[in-house]
Copies of this chain bind each other. A is one copy, B any other.
Amino acid sequence: MRIFPDPNIAIPLPKGFSWGTAAAGIRYKNRDDLAVIDPGCEATAAAVFTQNTFCAAPVRVSREILSASKGRIRGVVVNSGCANAATGEQGLRDARAMAEELGKCLAPSGKTHCLVCSTGTIGVRLPMEKVLPAIHAAVANRSESAPGFLAFARAILTTDTREKYAWKVLTIAGKPVTILACAKGSGMIYPRMATLLGFVATDAELPPETAQTLLRYAVNRSLNCLTVDADTSTNDTTILLANGASGASIQDIDSADGQCFAEALTEVLQCLARQLARDGEGATKLIEITVREARSYEEAHQVAMSIANSNLVKTAIYGRDANWGRIVCAIGNSGVSLEPERVRVRLGDLLLFEKGEPVPFDEGVALQVLSEEFVPITVDLGLGENSATAWTCDLTEKYVEINGAYRT
């Protein structure tokens, strides 16, 4: 399975969008750390945010702006290197100033709404004297090209080792519509009705309420099924911008076009979820956990996330140890009412556990499955017809090393 996009395939670009970046010198040296998206006009915007009570200033400000603007947004500004979280009143003022500065750059009157995101260390103030000029620089160098998009995808990274992006082109009412998305995040990842930082650009035309419903639908089936370390960050935000430049309009998620778009958006975000898991801090493997035969989607999801969050499952897979006992243990800890005798556990195609007992298996075949970069685990609960999938990575010494020394 190919996890990251093939660099030899041209990235399709949604019409009218441009991306710009600049080096503000916030924390990292010799790289761009500030980025803007310009949808080319006032666009429909939808967003999901972290549920962390200590949500960062940009989350609070973007929530306010999204509500005040009734979902019509002129642009987005993002910085890496500083989360602007736990920074008190001054942090709120700084986040508002960033959004307003972008508004001034993109609309001559300045009377428009922009959103703002930050990611990086908690509890440190933004160096606004560097950030504000960098917004101007990023707007000035913005471009509608694939390199422009890739520079954006790179500027938002922190401990990530690479850009993560995905796309889908579909046809709505005979017109091509493009969905192009990127995301950052490799630690502090356990989205509770939210995500890391994710940005989705589409040239479909969407009413704000439809956009919000579509984004929520797709996030619940993708970024909300992802965990690296079961820690929801203070800054998680995913924003969808729809500028309507394709001329194709989707009014309702329940229409055929709406369903088509919902599935495409879900696929794009699932593709990002897999990339995010694989690029988890210190990870060597992407683990995909599919739970089937559940009474409901929610119960399947709960079991899948319980396995995905188990440090013991994650270390065993890192050690290429087919220690299915830990998977069974994690299933038993999910809180879902189960009948242990009906549960089956598979590693790849290899059956490991059935009827409450271990199944003798070929350790060589298990080792082969565990030696791959992509490790699929399947659990059948034997209780119903619903399925869910969760994504995570293995837990390695490198994770500890990275996180033992992040701030200092």
Q: Of B229, B311, B400, which is within 8 A of A231 by CB?
A: B311
- If A330-B231, A400-B315 touch, whether A321 touches B408 (CB-CB below 8 Å) is yes
CB neighbours of A230 from chain B (8 A): 230, 309, 311
Residue numbers in B under 8 Å from A124 (CB-CB) = 358
Rounded to whole Å, the gap between the CB of A351 and the closest CB of chain B is 13
Does A232 sit at the interface, judged by CB under 8 A? yes
Which A residues from 327 to 355 make CB contacts under 8 A with B?
328-334, 336-338, 340, 353, 355
- Asked if A188 is at the interface (CB within 8 A of a chain B CB), the reply is yes
Report whether B400 and A357 are in contact in the complex, using a CB–CB cutoff of 8 Å. Answer: no
Binding site secondary structure of chain A: loop
Chain B residues with CB under 8 Å of A86's CB are 325, 328, 340, 353, 356-358
Contact with B along A287-318 (1 / 0, CB 8 A): 00000000000000000000001111001101
A330 contacts which chain B residues (CB < 8 A)? 231
Knowing that A234-B325, A234-B332 are A-B contacts, what are 7 other residue pairs whose CB atoms are under 8 Å apart, sorted by A's residue number?
Answer: A53-B333, A55-B332, A121-B325, A234-B328, A311-B311, A319-B403, A319-B406
The answer to whether B54 and A332 touch across the interface, beta carbons within 8 angstroms, is yes
Contact of A232 among B87, B333, B353, B401 (CB under 8 A): B333
- Whether B401 and A310, one on each chain, are in contact in the complex, defined by CB atoms closer than 8 angstroms, is no
- Chain A positions 388-408 with a Cβ under 8 Å from a chain B Cβ: 395-397, 399-401, 403-408
28 A/B residue pairs, CB under 8 Å, sorted by A? A52-B329, A52-B333, A53-B337, A53-B340, A54-B329, A54-B331, A55-B332, A83-B325, A85-B328, A86-B358, A87-B357, A87-B358, A88-B357, A187-B312, A229-B312, A230-B309, A231-B312, A232-B329, A232-B333, A233-B329, A234-B325, A316-B404, A318-B404, A322-B407, A325-B407, A396-B404, A397-B400, A399-B400
A127 cross-chain contacts in B, Cβ below 8 A: none
Whether A123 is near chain B, meaning CB under 8 Å from some CB there, is yes
User: Which residue of chain B has its CB nearest to the CB of A187?
Assistant: B312
Tell me if A169 is interfacial: C-beta within 8 Å of chain B.
no
Known: A53-B332, A332-B52, A358-B123. A311 touches B233 (CB 8 A): no
Number of residues on chain A facing chain B (CB within 8 A): 66
Does any Cβ of B come within 8 Å of A122's Cβ?
yes
Q: Which residues of B contact A188 (CB under 8 A)?
A: 312, 326, 329
A405 touches B328 (CB 8 A): no
A329 to B403, CA, bound (A): 15
Q: Which of A83, A329, A334 has its CB near the most chain B CB atoms (within 10 A)?
A: A329
Q: Is A4 an interface residue (CB 8 A)?
A: no
Q: Does A324 contact B (CB under 8 A)?
A: yes
Tell me which residues across on chain B come within 8 A of A312, comparing CB atoms: 187-188, 229, 231, 403
Q: With a CB–CB cut-off of 8 A, which chain B residues contact A311? A: 229-231, 311, 399, 403
Contact A324 B123 (CB under 8 A): yes
A343 CB to closest chain B CB (Å) equals 8
Q: Which 9 A-B pairs have the closest CB atoms?
A: A122-B325, A319-B404, A54-B332, A315-B403, A88-B357, A397-B397, A52-B332, A53-B332, A123-B325
Q: Which B residues are in CB contact (< 8 Å) with A407? A: 316, 321-323, 325
